[in-house]
Chain A
Amino acid sequence: MATKQNLTPTNINDDPVPFFSQLGWKDWLYAIVLIASTVIAYSKYSQFMDVYETTFLFGAGVVFSLLGWCWKPVRLLLVGIATLSLFSINLYHGDLDSVNKVFFLKFLIGSQTAVMWMNVLFVLAMLTYWFALFARSAFTGKVATSLTWAAVLMGFVGLMVRWYESYLIAPDVGHIPLSNLYEVFILFCLITSLMYLYYEQRYATKQLGGFVMLVVSAAVGFILWYTFSRHANGIQPLVPALQSYWMKIHVPANFIGYGAFSLAAMVASAYLLVDKEILVSRLPAADVLDDLMYKAISVGFAFFTIATILGAVWAAEAWGGYWSWDAKETWALIVWLNYAAWLHLRLVKGLRGPMLAWWALIGLLVTTFAFLGVNMFLSGLHSYGTL
């Protein structure tokens, strides 16, 4: 949402400026480049694309234009991702083995390497945020923010290049990297961090970075364990049930939900500290934390609802019923009911304070169980991501 107020003499009443009048030449250039790229991609590859893929392509052009207009840093991020990914893909020369031979791929922007950089940068960002908090150093805070952006950039490059790599294995193996735990954990880190960065800018506070990066770093820990101990970072072909267009929107929608709930839980932990008079002088005020927590949960709730519905539509196609009370579905419902109750008590009963914060924190446990625990402990129809 645009809040920039235009204070030229013509706007003497300080009226809000209509959305399109707020856009500058950079915004238009960005959108033009984006749309031009989609058109070029379409003219080059349209013979390989069906109607869904064409829709996705142009849909992405429009969605990312809007996203960049609403939140300016996205423009730079997107340009960065595109440049690095194209550069990396170019270095492959269509040969998977290039990863071990070409310097840049081996040490910087090969898919697994880029993900490793993402991991490192996220952990560094967390440490830097904490340092900035304790040292009250605005400069260090800025460094932490940059590290987080860099990590997000590397993570996305890693995913893009991985996408390309999957097609190098064999054309019929190729698929979007959203299909196993390794890939979705990367997505989780990226989405959670992006959401955090958005709120960091909106609330002009960097003090929460250390808290949020804590969950992200935990996810990084999981990625590392999964890579080194389980060797589960390889690209696997898709089992038939996963070969669906619904997957491509169901999974990201789900992770916006998971990311937002995690963000809310971490803000809740900061709230609880402030409530106990710990770090009060360093953290934002309780009402800011409370507001942020509410916003995160409502965004999460909205997207989780969409994700669950998309999941049902997909299930209707793959399993023959939109709702089978499979363990994953059921736990999604439980998570959803949990946050529905949270929102009710806050909005209808006007409940505030530590109770809601504790609830948001415990909500994260429920969410984590739905996300991971179900795969580990319960059996069901969800065929991907067993540990």
Chain B
Amino acid sequence: MTNSKRLYELLSSMRFAVSVLTVLGIASIIGTVLKQNEPYANYVIQFGQFWFDLFEMLGLYDVYHSAWFLVILVFLVASTSLCIYRNTPLMLKELRAYREQVTEKSLHAFSHQHEYATGENLDKTKQDLSHFLTARGFRFRTVKHKDGSELIAAKAGSYQRLGYIFTHAAIVIICIGGLMDGNVPLKVEELFGQKTVESRDIPANEVPKKSRLSVSNLSFRANMTLPEGASADVAFQRVRDGYMVQELPFSIALTDFRIEHYPTGQPKSFESDLVIIDPDLKEPLKHTISVNHPLIYKGIAIYQSDFQDGGSKLNFDVWGILSAEAKPIPVEGAIFGKTEFGAGADGLQLEFIDFRKFNILNLSLDGKGKPHNVGPNVTFKVRDTAGQAKEYVNYMQPLQLDGRYYFVSGMRSSPQEEFKYLRIPADSNFEMQGFMRMRAVLFNKALHQEIAHRFALKALKPGDDAAIKTKFEASVVQLLGAFGDGGFAEIAKLIDASVPKAQREAAAQTYIKIITGVASEAYQLSQERAGIKNVKVDENTQAFLQDSLNAISDLFFYGEPIYLQMTKFEQREASGLQLTRSPGKNLVYSGSVLLVLGIFAMIYIRERRIWLLIKPQQQTVLFAMSANRKNRDFEIEFNRYQSQLSALLQR
């Protein structure tokens, strides 16, 4: 055997085909276990630099587009094509042939055969037998032999063979279609250095030619984010850790993006009103797309894929949460924009990242309650002059937790962390003012004496002497001072520093009792200063005060000395579109139809052959049967025919 012959034998062999199927299966698994196409930084964090480099070299971050994966597919196509090439001539021959050349000797050697004695009337026998075969769906040919005997060669279900051809041709067609729509041409161009991936964050029109794909690009799958009112004529194709710019033969404008919701708050539909602007069109084409209903224009399918903020305008009240100031400072901002707050060394930069009008959350503690819409939130970063940034997510409306209402803000110092939440209790008007006023009073050292005085009036009996009163007031002022410097943590430090170990537990309880009492005074004072008279302190207020003290203690861990309370928003949405051109799609679909036809043919058509050799001299008929797949059905059928023939021939 020559080498090329041997290679042909190998590639077209079953063994090789099954091996390729196995390898393809395993390779596919890798891609599902390792998250694909994440930003590369995530992989570095996950695996460390060494493994990251190794995995990148192996193309594991985009397995299905890596060169070695394509090679497997090419082998599959090659192996299947050769297999078809090798088997088809035989199959077609089998499909047509009646095999009327069989000899009596070979019929006797069949595992399924039987010989009958029969009457003299040759014509009647022949007629009976051909009727028998036709009624059972067999087609046949008759040959007369020199010795006077006649052979009827019959067959049924020959189209099973077509099943083989269809199925395997379908595999090849589907793979070719898939490879056409894959990024093979791009891969080749990259290999020869004609194209490079862009990874800088620069405007589309500044992306150099080497990273641009022309309008004539045969197949692509690219994305475009269009804010309402904007238009674009390029899309972005993600490639590994960067992108390429795909130019389009027309431009798309978004006039409106809508999300409809079910009564429960879950999204019901995403819709974009698009306008296609194309010099080839007499007037712009208006069309609304939604999920499952794309628009196909000039061979490019435009899908509704996702949505995001398109630069909503937002208004905030900024509270200096660690100051004694009771009034907020209004600030404006827009998503993707930056706003300076304060100046000099204390200056902060607010970077607005995302705004969401609807947030479906399940706030019940045990997770058994129903999720519902809790209203808008905003995600932003606060960057200090040293360049350090913390990320926050603030909800506009108070959320109900445990039956009470809180303004909630999440904070984290890096994207790997989970958000930690600050809960600020809403006052009786469901506003933040109540808390903020009280916080201002508690942080105002000038007012501590006044609070302590008021508290002493209530806590001490009128008869207590002045010295005790002064001493008591002084210790309350000290306590307030400590709380104002660092919340409960500072008080704990105070206790650790000044109380012997054995009495600390008791002291802590006393201090907390005092702080709670003092808080009530501080609250009343804050309300009076805001011009509210006759402040009542009831059970609700008590809970509010407790929550407020906890919140004030948490403020010291909030990271930045400001709290952004969203007051107004003007939403501007952006629609995420996916644009694809896939010329291989029709191949894939027609291959699929062929595949289904082929598989059903292979499974449900059973190829069987029958030979009936009529020998007038001996007055016998030899019956033999075979099938290309001898299974149980075949045995049953043979036995049935055997007995039916016996009844027929012995009549």
Give the complex CA separation of A243 and B33 in angstroms. Answer: 29
- Among the 9-residue stretches B52-60, B528-536, B585-593, the one with 4 or more Cβ atoms under 8 Å from chain A is B585-593
A241 pairs with B292, CB closer than 8 A: yes
Give the complex CA separation of A344 and B264 in angstroms. Answer: 50
Interface residues of B in 602-651 (CB under 8 A from A): 603, 629, 631-633, 644, 647-648
A79 proximal to B (CB < 8 A): no
B21 pairs with A240, CB closer than 8 A: no
A95 proximal to B (CB < 8 A): no
Give the complex CA separation of A349 and B15 in angstroms. Answer: 9
B132 proximal to A (CB < 8 A): yes
B633 pairs with A341, CB closer than 8 A: no
**A298 to chain B: which residues have CB within 8 Å?**
603
**A347 to chain B: which residues have CB within 8 Å?**
629
Give the complex CA separation of A173 and B262 in angstroms. Answer: 7
Give the complex CA separation of A349 and B303 in angstroms. Answer: 46
Q: A283-317: contact bitstring with B at CB < 8 Å (1 yes, 0 no)?
A: 00001101100100011011001100100110011
B215 proximal to A (CB < 8 A): no
**Shortest CB distance B352–A (Å):** 27
B32 proximal to A (CB < 8 A): yes
Q: List 26 A-B contacts (CB under 8 A).
A: A14-B647, A15-B131, A173-B262, A231-B368, A237-B262, A237-B264, A240-B269, A243-B269, A243-B291, A244-B292, A291-B631, A302-B600, A302-B603, A306-B596, A309-B596, A318-B291, A320-B294, A320-B579, A321-B221, A325-B64, A333-B28, A337-B21, A337-B24, A344-B14, A349-B14, A379-B35
**Shortest CB distance A106–B (Å):** 22
B25 pairs with A334, CB closer than 8 A: yes
A41 proximal to B (CB < 8 A): no
Label chain B's interface by main secondary structure. helix
Partner of B291, one of A236, A240, A312, A349: A240
Partner of B292, one of A240, A302, A327, A341: A240
**A15 to chain B: which residues have CB within 8 Å?**
131-132, 135-136
B36 pairs with A325, CB closer than 8 A: yes
**Shortest CB distance A266–B (Å):** 19
Given contacts A14-B647, A172-B262, A312-B588, contact A378 B32 (CB under 8 A): yes
Residue of B nearest to A18 (CB): B135
B631 pairs with A294, CB closer than 8 A: yes
A341 pairs with B21, CB closer than 8 A: yes
Residue of B nearest to A298 (CB): B603
Give the complex CA separation of A247 and B32 in angstroms. Answer: 23
Interface residues of B in 538-597 (CB under 8 A from A): 578-580, 582, 585, 588-589, 592, 595-596
Give residues in A with beta carbon < 8 Å to B.
13-16, 170, 172-173, 231, 236-237, 239-241, 243-244, 287-288, 290-291, 294, 298-299, 301-302, 305-306, 309, 312-313, 316-323, 325, 327, 330-331, 333-334, 337-338, 340-341, 344-345, 347-349, 374, 378-380
B75 proximal to A (CB < 8 A): no
Residue of A nearest to B641 (CB): A14
Give the complex CA separation of A241 and B306 in angstroms. Answer: 11
A345 pairs with B18, CB closer than 8 A: yes
**Shortest CB distance B42–A (Å):** 13
**A318 to chain B: which residues have CB within 8 Å?**
291-292
Known contacts A244-B292, A334-B28, A337-B21, then 4 further A-B pairs from the complex at CB < 8 Å, ordered by chain A residue: A317-B294, A320-B294, A330-B29, A334-B29
B305 proximal to A (CB < 8 A): yes
B22 pairs with A341, CB closer than 8 A: yes
Give the complex CA separation of A294 and B24 in angstroms. Answer: 24
Residue of B nearest to A299 (CB): B603
B363 proximal to A (CB < 8 A): no
A287 pairs with B291, CB closer than 8 A: no
Q: Which 3 A-B pairs have the closest CB atoms?
A: A240-B291, A15-B135, A320-B303
Interface residues of B in 47-104 (CB under 8 A from A): 63-64
Give the complex CA separation of A345 and B292 in angstroms. Answer: 40
B21 pairs with A172, CB closer than 8 A: no
Residue of A nearest to B302 (CB): A320
Partner of B580, one of A16, A291, A321, A325: A321
A305 pairs with B14, CB closer than 8 A: no
**Shortest CB distance A286–B (Å):** 11
B648 pairs with A239, CB closer than 8 A: no
**A312 to chain B: which residues have CB within 8 Å?**
588, 592
**Shortest CB distance A179–B (Å):** 13
**Shortest CB distance A299–B (Å):** 8
B8 proximal to A (CB < 8 A): no
